[in-house]
Chains A and B, each alone.
Chain A
Amino acid sequence: MIFEKRTERIFLAIFFTIALCIPLFLEENSFFVGKATTILILAVFVMSLDFLVGRVGLVTLGHALFYGLGGYLFVILTPEYEAVNFWVYAFYILGLNALIALVIGAVVLRTSGIYFIMITLAISQMAYYYFFDSLEFGGNDGLFIFMKPETSIFGLSFLNLDNPTHFYYLALLAVLVTLLAIKIILRSRFGRIVEASRLNPERTAALGYNIFAFRLISYVIGSTLAAYAGLLFALQYGYVNPQFMTWEMSGTALVMSILGGMGTIYGAILGTITYEGLLYLFEHLSEDWMLFMGSAIILMVLLLRKGLAGYLEKLLEK
């Protein structure tokens, strides 16, 4: 079974049940459906980061580069006033992104530890500066996506991306697929070697495995999942801006994943919901919301040794 822990199964069962029903209760109020959609999209991004940081052992502060690229590649590759096919272009974009991740990964994976963190940060910042300075790509004002793509497969279309509810379900599907994909990869032989190389690189290498190759492939997978999340994020409101690729965006995702419980993957969903939930609560509570947010984060770090998932597991696992 890919969901081994009882806590995991319980959480996911509750999560998906509620998530499936949300639009039914909020039909008319498209703001909350939109907000929930954004949280789901972020959860995909954070899960991809959790995979890289928590399981593969690659702590990257440049993950948002791919998040931003997902949206920018869409704007660059598609004509301005024509609705393209979503699936076809998602394929192109993810493919192109995977290539970019391959090239970047081949360079950065030569370092490790704090140096890896810094080099990934540097690359994402340079990309940010590039898009910020470039007039062709909108510069610091960003770019609009005027026409949302259509979603027909062999002529049959059942999702209209202009409809917030449909978009919500597309995002939920993305969460499910990402979760399953990561879990299956981790359970596979590939996944176990990757984890072994995190836990004990010397021994794994001594067994004859090319750790660099395994890590590179994992890096490409994680980055491509992030790009998919970024594509959805850009399409939701039809807007891209270089700020989507800054180290602050990467840092926020890292916070969500650590908060949720590093490495648990389902914890990433929990962490995203909790962070966004607390943010919404505090912002509406007080102008000094940052003080509450910071204190909440500090408290959670001090009290929850293994994040929220760790805490839940302590309660529920016998």
Chain B
Amino acid sequence: MSTELFFVQLINGLQYGLLLFLIASGLTLVFGVMGILNLAHGSMYMVGAYLVWYFVAVTGSFTVSAILSAVIALGLGILIERVLIQRLYNRNHLDQVLLTIGMIFVFNSLQSILWGNDPYGVAVPEALSGSVPFTDNSSYPVYRIFAATICIAIAAALYFVVSKTRLGMLIRAGESNREMVEALGVNIKSLYTIVFAIGVMLAAVSGIIAAPMRSIVPGMGESVLITCFVVVVIGGMGSIKGAFVGALLVGVISTFAAVLMPTMSNMIIYIFMILVLLVKPQGLFAK
């Protein structure tokens, strides 16, 4: 592999990893703070992608559609938490698994009913549709650079919120000792609603950002779900920093594996995860 190609693949891997982080961040946040394993997380990613496609078809503007879709996703998150998730706080993990699996069925069905089963695409917004000349033969799409930048920005924002704001303090407190936070008079119910809604919105936003770079098809939620879990587990459940590092590692490794050993590339990620778990059974940045 030439150094030029190596460099290109490294960029590809990091960009993919950043997107993975965005998808996984919501999952690990919700689990870390609330102890909820949301298997329908992939469905939220799908909802974001379908919503932005729909609104772009209606309004023609990607920016407007993106904002609209994100807001709807936030509302959806609040609704789901209030109506369904809330009832499960005192139940065991497996009941949560079952409920969220039921939700997957419902969302897949709603997708089919509302938007149909044809594969869709979202055009890259005009302003970002150029490419930057890269190598002799290829050029790097501006949109991918933009997407990577957004992911970094959101990661920075999350870091800022979690470590520097009162909400973040409550999140960190809730992660380490739920009962104590409650006993201290914090309205844990509202905290949970906010956190869950943010988790859902993060997933949807990743779907929105990814939409122009992929095809929008039935089942797209399930296909990111597993990778998402792998990232979170490698990083350590509940750790956003872990999710960031885990995502970049998974992104780079799977990108290189894809070209160096294509047929085995799907196994590489699992092998990597197993190796990490054998050395650090709670993930890299376990709590």
Contact = CB atoms under 8 A, between A and B. Distances in A.
Bound pair: A and B?
yes
Interface of A: 53, 59, 107, 110-112, 114-115, 118-119, 121-123, 125-126, 129-130, 133, 247, 251, 254-255, 258-259, 262, 288, 290-291, 293-298, 301-302, 305
Interface string B191-228: 00000000000000000000000000000000000100
Chain B residues touching A, range: 35 or more
Contact of B109 (A118, A126, A255, A290): A290
Contact of B113 (A133, A288, A298): A288
Nearest to A305: B91
Interface string B17-37: 000000000000000000001
Interface string B102-141: 1111111110110000000000000000000000000000
Nearest to B222: A248
Contacts of A112: 281
Given A125-B270, A126-B267, A255 B229 contact: no
Nearest to B238: A114
B282 interface: yes
Contact of A129 (B99, B113, B267): B267
B283 interface: yes
Contacts of B11: none
Contacts of A129: 266-267
Contacts of B161: none
Given A297-B98, A302-B99, 15 more contacts: A118-B233, A119-B274, A123-B274, A126-B270, A288-B109, A290-B112, A291-B113, A294-B107, A295-B106, A296-B102, A298-B103, A298-B106, A301-B95, A302-B84, A305-B91
A211 to B, nearest CB: 15
Contacts of B88: 301
Chain B binding surface SS class: helix
Contact of A247 (B99, B226, B282): B226
Contacts of A110: 278, 281
26 contacts: A53-B94, A59-B94, A111-B277, A112-B281, A115-B281, A118-B233, A119-B277, A125-B270, A126-B267, A129-B266, A251-B101, A254-B94, A258-B94, A258-B95, A259-B98, A288-B112, A291-B105, A294-B102, A294-B106, A294-B107, A295-B102, A298-B99, A301-B88, A301-B95, A302-B99, A305-B91
B157 to A, nearest CB: 27
B263 A255 contact: no
A129 B109 CA distance: 27
Contacts of A298: 84, 99, 102-103, 106
B51 interface: no
A291 B267 contact: no
A176 to B, nearest CB: 27
- Which A-B residue pairs are the 5 nearest by beta carbons? A294-B105, A297-B102, A294-B106, A291-B109, A122-B270
B230 interface: yes
Contacts of B237: 114
B287 to A, nearest CB: 12
B21 to A, nearest CB: 18
A275 to B, nearest CB: 11
Contacts of B91: 305
Given A115-B281, A262-B94, A288-B113, A122 B266 contact: no
B166 interface: no
Contact of B108 (A119, A130, A262, A290): A290
Most B CB contacts (10 A, CB to CB) among A123, A125, A290 go to A290
Most B CB contacts (10 A, CB to CB) among A111, A123, A296 go to A111
B273 interface: yes
B37 to A, nearest CB: 7
Most B CB contacts (10 A, CB to CB) among A59, A118, A259, A295 go to A118
Interface in B54-106: 84, 87-88, 91, 93-95, 97-99, 101-106
Interface in B222-264: 226, 229-230, 233, 237, 263
Contacts of A296: 102
B94 A111 contact: no
A302 B237 CA distance: 26
Most B CB contacts (10 A, CB to CB) among A129, A295, A298 go to A298
Contact of B106 (A122, A255, A291): A291
A137 B278 CA distance: 30
Contacts of B87: 302
Contacts of B283: 115
